Amino acid sequence: MNKIPQRLQPYKSYFKVKSKLGIQVSTTIGYWDVITKIKHLTIKGREQEVKQALCEPDEIRISKKDKTVLLFYKMFDQRYLSVVVRFFKKRGFIVTAYWTKKIKEGKLKWKK
């Protein structure tokens, strides 16, 4: 059996989904830990909601600051889950995810 050495575990893929735009988006175990243990603790245990926001968003916007970054928004219980994704060579990587009451400015790419 091919077991990944302990020191490489943080770099192992945690999850991958095909986004609404048809592009694969992923995160690693280590980076998901950064998001849920350091950046935005309220996202811990919300993997299914993050996946849903990527696959079935209410709105997708292009970042005003970086054209390679898209913000996926999905409403849950009167607040939006924003999943920020950087795209590179036809793949997406989750930068962060957080709860917000309003959608940030940026060019609208897709709307439900």
Q: Which of 3-7, 15-19, 103-107 has the lowest mean pLDDT?
A: 3-7
pLDDT tens for residues 55-96? 999 999 999 999 999 999 999 999 999 999 999 888 999 999
What does 47-106 look like in DSSP terms, one character per residue?
HHHHHHHHHS-SEEEE-SS-TTEEEEEEEETTEEEEEEEEEETTEEEEEEEEEESSPPPS
pTM for the model stands at 0.89
